[in-house]
Structure 1
Amino acid sequence: MIKTVAVGDQNGTEILAGQLAACAKPGDVILMHGTLGMGKSAFCRAYIRAFANNPHEEVPSPTFTLVQVYELDPVPVWHFDLYRLSDPEEVHELDIEDAFADGVSLIEWPDRLEYLTPENRLDIHIEPGSNVDGRVFQLIPHGEDWENRIAKLGGDGA
C-alpha cells in the first residue's frame, strides 16, 4: 500500500513529520527520496524536533558531516546525508549498522546505500505540490508494521 499525502506548505510538512515521529520505534529506517530543494532536510528537521518534543531543537544539516546523531529519549535519532558518498562501502565508516540496530535513522540520498538498504524501512518520495510551497509525499512501507502506522497519517492539516 502506498500512502499519498499532499501538503500546501511548510507547516503541512511539519505536521506530517510530527505525526510520523509520534509513531516511531527503535530500529526504524526512513529513506528520503527527492531532487535537490524538495524538502528532504526540512522534513528531517521537523521530524527530529517533534521526536525531541522541542520545536527549538538545533538541527544542523549533515551535508558536510554526513551524519548528525541526536541522543534523544528513548532512542537516538541518526540523520544521514549520503549525497557526497560515491561508494556504499563508505557508509560503514558512519556507523550506520549501530543506527539501524538501536536508533531511528533518517537517510537522505538513500540510493547511495545500494545493497546495504535494509528490507524493513519506510521510503518517502517527495515531489512538487500544487503550489510553490506545496509537496506531495508518497510513503511506501516495506516490512514490519509500517503499513499500519502510515495508514493513520495525513490528518490535521497535512
Structure 2
Amino acid sequence: MNTTYCQHLANEQATCLFGEKLVKLIYNITDKNGFIIYLNGDLGAGKTTLSRGMIQGLGHQGNVKSPTYTLVEEYHLADRHIYHFDLYRLNDPEELEFMGIRDYFTPHSICLIEWAEKGEGILNSADLLINMSYDNNARNIELIANSSLGSEIIKQLQ
C-alpha cells in the first residue's frame, strides 16, 4: 500500500476546504467502518486547521479548538462521531489506557490524531497518514494510504 497524494494549500481557507472535501470522501466511502488519521507536522503546520475543516465539513456549527490540554474533543454529528486527539502533552502512552482510548475506535468513528507517535504501542494503526509542512505562508500536505480504505480515499482525490 504505497498510494500517496500531495497538494499545496495556499492559506487557512484552502486548508479548511481541503479538510471538508476529505471528510466527505471518508464519510461516503467508509460507510459504517471506523477511520483513523494520523496528523503529522510541526507546531503550527495546520493540523488543527485541517481538523476544523473536517469537523465543520460534517455539520458542526461551533468552534473547533485544539485538544492540547484535554487530549480529546468529541463531536457527535449525524450518524458519526469525530474524535480529535492531540497527544502533544502526553508523557507516557499508558495514560491512553487510563482514559479508555480503545472505546473511541468504533465502526461509527473518525479519529483524528495529532502527535500519534506519543501513543505508539497503544494506538490502532492509521488508515491515512497526513504530513503537513510549511511553504512560506502556505502549507504542503501529503496523504499516505495505510489501508485499503486509505487507498480508496486517495484514488478519489486523484
TM-score, structure 1 as length reference: 0.87
Which 5+ residue runs of structure 2 have no aligned equivalent? none
Aligned mates of 1:119, 1:48 — CA distance in 2: 21
Does the CA contact (< 8 Å) of 2:41 and 2:131 recur in 1?
Answer: yes
Aligned mates of 2:54, 2:91 — CA distance in 1: 27
**Partner SS state of residue 103, structure 2:** helix
Counterpart for residue 20 of structure 2:
18
Does the CA contact (< 8 Å) of 2:4 and 2:154 recur in 1?
Answer: no
Aligned mates of 2:87, 2:12 — CA distance in 1: 23
Does the CA contact (< 8 Å) of 1:20 and 1:150 recur in 2?
Answer: no
| Alignment match of 1:142 (pick from 131, 137, 146) | 146
Is 1:60 aligned with 2:65?
Answer: yes
Which 5+ residue runs of structure 1 have no aligned equivalent? none
Is 1:8 aligned with 2:13?
Answer: no
**Partner SS state of residue 120, structure 2:** helix
- Does 139-148 or 117-126 show the bigger shift? 117-126
Distance 1:120-1:83 versus aligned 2 partners, 3 A rule: closer
Structure 1 residue 57 displacement after superposition: 2.4
Is 1:107 aligned with 2:146?
Answer: no
Structure 1 residue 69 displacement after superposition: 0.7
Structure 1 residue 4 displacement after superposition: 0.8
Alignment coverage as a number of residue pairs: 150
Does the CA contact (< 8 Å) of 1:16 and 1:153 recur in 2?
Answer: no
TM-score, structure 2 as length reference: 0.87
Aligned-residue RMSD, C-alpha? 1.6
Matched to 1:2, the amino acid is T
Q: What per-residue deviation string (whole Å, max 9, x for no partner) do you get for residues 2-23 of structure 1?
A: 1111111112111210111102
Does the CA contact (< 8 Å) of 1:68 and 1:79 recur in 2?
Answer: yes
Identity of aligned residues (%): 31
**Partner SS state of residue 36, structure 1:** coil
Structure 1 residue 141 displacement after superposition: 0.8
Matched to 1:88, the amino acid is P
Aligned mates of 1:16, 1:126 — CA distance in 2: 12
